[in-house]
Amino acid sequence: MASGSLSQLLRASQTVFTFREIALLWRETDFNAAKSRVNYYVRKAELYPLRRGIYAKDRQYDRLELATKIFTPAYVSLETVLQQEGVIFQSDRRIHVASYLTREIECDGSTFIFRKLRDSILVNPSGIEQKQFAFASKERAFMDALYLYKDYHFDNLVGIDWDACFALLPVYGQKSMEKRLKSYCALIDRAISKKTLDLTVNS
């Protein structure tokens, strides 16, 4: 297979590439040569340009993957994960990302909300799943929200693994988070106890 060929990109598992990733995949050290080849494929509509320095195989790319390529390091978290996991019910089509800055970006019809985390938190891999892109677990997304939002309403916390949340506390380095985490645990315990009591009374 020729170096710098389109087929090298099409055969890759990812759907979105930064220019740097393309150059590395091609093993191309000549920046201008790589740029010229990328521009050629864009002109032929064989690569789909998303924003400067970011390209997709076609229009059917994964927007969550794109979210982690706009600013790096970054991982999908917060409302996007919490909504998918049923922790919050409000529909939000925007994609929420943890990154090194706070920014709102419009790209190819999608809105990306970036929230800044401290560097030591951002690069800590605990609770981060590595697929084609970095994606927070339900518990990591919950803890990110607890860290960023001081007063946030969660609709359904029954499925949260509290042991996993407590294990994540050292990532954030905030003693106040432990107190708030315990308050959420107590809230769920009371709700479960009340439900159990109600079932006992009505049986």
What angle, rounded to 10 degrees, do the helices at 19-26 and 31-43 form?
110
Report the alpha-carbon distance of residue 115 to residue 175 in Å, rounded.
Answer: 21
For 135, phi then psi, to 5°, come to -140, 125
What pLDDT, on the 0 to 100 scale, is given for residue 202?
45
Strands (E), 57-162: 75-76, 95-99, 103-107, 110-116, 128-130, 134-136
Report the alpha-carbon distance of residue 77 to residue 96 in Å, rounded.
Answer: 6
CA angle 75, 77, 79 (to 5 degrees): 150
Residue owning tokens 């055969």:
11
What pLDDT, on the 0 to 100 scale, is given for residue 195?
55
Residues paired with residue 55 on neighbouring β-strands, in sequence order: 17, 49
- Identify the burial level of 180 via C-beta atoms within 10 angstroms of its C-beta, where 0-12 means exposed, 13-18 middle and 19 or more buried: middle
What pLDDT, on the 0 to 100 scale, is given for residue 201?
42
What averages of pLDDT result for each successive group of 10 residues across the chain (203 residues)? 76 94 92 94 96 96 97 97 96 96 97 98 96 95 95 90 96 93 85 52 44
Sheet holding 103-107, edge to edge: 103-107, 110-116, 95-99, 75-76, 134-136, 128-130
Rounding to the nearest 10 degrees, give the CA dihedral for residues 13, 142, 121, 64.
20
Report the alpha-carbon distance of residue 4 to residue 63 in Å, rounded.
Answer: 25
